[in-house]
Each structure stands twice: as C-alpha cells, then as structure tokens.
Amino acid sequence: MAEGGSARPSPAVRTRFAPSPSGDLHVGNIRTALYAWAWARHTGGRFVLRIEDTDRSRITDEAIASALEDLRWLGLDWDEGPEIGGDCGPYQQSERLPLYHEWVQRFLSEGTAYHCYCTQEELDAERETQRSKGLPPGYSGRCRTLTAAQVADFEAEARKPVVRFRMPPGTTTVHDTIRGEVVFDHANIPDFVIMRANGYPLYNLAVSVDDALMRITHVVRGDDLLASTPRQIAMYEAMGVPAEDVPVFTHCPYVLGTDGKPLSKRYGSASIEWYRENGYLPEAVVNYLALLGWSPGNDREDLRLDELVELFDLSRVGATPGRLDPKKLDAINGDKIRALGVDELAHRIMPFLQAAGLVAEPVHPDQARLVVAAVPLIQERLTRLTESVDLLAFLFVREGAFTVDPEAAARVLTTDAGPVLSAAYEALAALAVWDRAAIEQALRQVLVEKLGRKPKHAFGPVRVAVTGRRVSPPLFESLELLGAHRTLGRIERALEADVG
C-alpha cells in the first residue's frame, strides 16, 4: 500500500502556487494561492510561484504577466519564482522540458513507463466496447508488453508513440488535511499518458517532477485534483522520493457562484481583474476569500493580512464549498475603505477619477489637493472605489461639460423649485466669506426660515442644480469645495433653463 500526504511537522515548509494562466485568474485559483501563501508565512516557510505553461496553445505571455500582477496587487509575494529566481528554477514549465525528458527516459529504462502506439481511433473504439459491456472506460494496457516485432511494425507505420506510466498494483491512501484518509484502488486507475507524442509533458508528469525537485512539502489545490493524487504519489515512488517527503495534501472544496454552481472563467465576477476594475480593495478581497472556506474562530471576520498570517492553520479549512456573497464582500470592502487614512483613500480613488477623465495624468497639484479635501465627504458613503466617480464628478468636470441628470431634474427642478433657487442665489451671492458655516447659515436662513421650506425641499433643488444628482456628498461642504463662482454659475444656469 502506498501512502501519501501524512501530516508531519516540518521546520522548512515549502508551499507553491502553480497556475496555468490562459486568462484572468479567478477567485478559486487565488483562494488556494492565498491559503498556500498564508501557511508558508505562518510557519516561516517559503512560497514558490511556478507557471504551468507547457500548453502554449492556451497560455500567453500576457496572461502570465497578468497573473503576476494580480498576485502583487493582492500582496501575495513569492520567495522563489518568475522575476525572482531561486535554487530550484527555472520556474516556468516550458523552460524545464529537458528535466521531464530525463525522467521519462529513466522511467522507460526502469520499466515504470512504456511507449504506447495506440491511435485515437483505436482508443475510442476500445472505450465504446467497454461502455457497451457496462465496464468503466479506461485504457486496457494493450501496449504494456509489446514485442520488438510489434514495435517495429508500428514504427514502420510511422506511428508516433506517447509515453504511459505503468500504474502498479495495490492501493494508495491519501491523507488529506480536509477529507482525512481517502483510499484509491489502483484497479480503477488505468495506465496514464505522461508525455505526448510531440515530446511535451502532461500534467501528472510535470507536477510530480516539479513538486519533488522543488521540495514542496504542502500542496494546496482544488478538490477537482484529488483524483489525480494517487497517480502523482505513484510517480513520487518511481522517482525514489521517500514516503516522508511526499507532500501533505489539502484539497479545497469548490467555490460556488451566486447560482450555486462551480465557478468558471466565464463567470464574470469570478475574475480577480474584475474586482480590481470595479473598485474593490485588495485587502478586502483577501479578507473575504480567506473566510470563503476557513475561519479564524470566534466569528471574527475583519482581518488584516498580517493577522491572517498569524492565525492561519490549514486544519481549519472546511469541507463545505464556499459560495460567493457579493453583499458580504461589499460590506467588508466598505469597512476597509472607512479604515483608510484620508491621504491613502485619495491615492486609491485617484486612478478611477483619472480613468473617467476627471483628473489629469499626471495629476495636477490643485486637483490632488481637491481630491484629498473631498475624501472626508464621501468616505462613509463608499462601498466601492468606483462610486467616487459619480459622487465627485461635479467637482472636476469642466463647466462646459457639466450636466444635470435628467431624472433628477424632472423630479426636483420642478416649477416649485424656481423660488428656492432664486433665493439661494441671492443669499449665496451676498456672502463675504465662502465656507461651510457661512453657506449653511445663509441657506437655512433664507430657505427654511424665510421661505418656510422643509430641509428636503429647501436644499434638494440646490443640490441637483449644483451637483447634477439627487445623491451627493454633504451639500454645504460640497459648495465650499466647488467655490462661489462655479456654484453661482450652476444655479444661474438652472434658473435660465426655465425652472419655475
């Protein structure tokens, strides 16, 4: 019986994240990366980043660069890997092909692997026969014991062989930190291809060789890869890896979408890039993903990255699939936004204001000061950084481009609003000092006390006329930042638009 992944203390924990980036990384990928990273940091070990890119028909350099940027954005630094190097490199599988060829030749010479000349048509026919007899489909092993004459005949037909690993008899018990002991009968695991006819390795060969040579002690990955584990343990044995050096396995359950189905790359909000573009803080995404299958205990939900490192334990990763909850993520993101300092939040929202064309690139010092001054007005209202664009657009838009939302105008700038705006204009134009206190005193005195309007009906028309929206930062502070000239000009234009 082969056994793999038995728990053991290790003074030199080495975890890894090994994506095959054919597009944007999604939250399922990143959650396993986060757990592997946190365990390495918690134990004082090393976190290795390895790119599985042997299938260059799917994987692009742009996707690899994007994956690295996603990890950096989240704060998941690596100790060995692309752009850093290390003692176990290279860290892209496409640069490790000679290593895989070397091990395949060793397996062939020792008889733990063999050439298979079966065509795809023959394999398909074999599987169809198995199905018709009610047998589970799988390779029969027909090329296990080819004679030299049979090989010569196949070579004469110009058949290009793949290399199959010879699965030994017996069973493998995988000790998984989440599922406990999982026993696999080798009778149900047919010999599997480890190298294509074109000389490129398949997953089970490359991952086994890489994890062994990179001395990986803990493998954290998705539940869908549990079934491949006995194949990899068999390859460790064929490589001569001692049982005590086989990695500890943690197979995390799926992350489900809001529809209850496993996430795929087609699921828009599963992409880490989507969260970046839609105004989520990296610390909020990390906090949320950490809790999507793991708990620090005591119903605690607010975690900084350093606190996650301190508290993280693989044994607390649960067996129940996590399910995306946008409302919970928004709540965490809002809390993280409110915890930022004013200067830091201004720095975080600046790229969104620039992308919207409201702030110059590079930013002008006057605009930078205005953003910092405006941040306290919106910080309590923000759930996502992207919301700052609509809330602050009125401060930065060119006067010639300023518009009032038609729906807001229809609901608020009615006939009844004319006297309000006229009175507000006269009161504000008479101010000798333009600050929040003076603005508030003038507007309350003329609109509430003299006109007898309730605050909602008194200030609503001014808000829409000046900000263009029914929802805006606090009115008096907004007018102070906008300045007297622009404020009065916008009220005047609203009056000229035949309000009242």
Catalytic (active site) residue 450: no
Maximum distance among all alpha carbons in the chain?
A: 108
Report how far apart the first and last C-alpha atoms of the chain are (Å, whole number).
89
* Cα–Cα distance measured from residue 294 to residue 290, given in angstroms and rounded to the nearest whole number: 6
* Cα–Cα distance measured from residue 214 to residue 45, given in angstroms and rounded to the nearest whole number: 13
Tell me the three-class secondary structure of 182-226, residue by residue: EEEEHHHCCCEEEECCCCCECHHHHHHHHHHHCCCCEEEEEHHHH
Neighbours of 407 (CB within 10 A): 10
Tokens 């092909």 belong to residue: 97
* Cα–Cα distance measured from residue 494 to residue 500, given in angstroms and rounded to the nearest whole number: 10
From the list 165, 166, 179, 169, the residue with the least C-alpha distance to 5 is 179
Tokens 């260059």 belong to residue: 56
Cα distances (angstroms) measured from residue 306 to each of 181, 301, 321: 32, 14, 25
Residue in 133, 160, 261, 265 annotated catalytic: 265
Burial class (CB in 10 A: 0-12, 13-18, 19+), 42: middle
* Cα–Cα distance measured from residue 444 to residue 269, given in angstroms and rounded to the nearest whole number: 45
- Token pair belonging to 103: 């091990």
483 backbone φψ class: left, alpha, beta (φ>0; ψ -120 to 50): left
Cα distances (angstroms) measured from residue 126 to each of 113, 120, 152, 328: 21, 10, 23, 50
Residues marked active site are found at 265
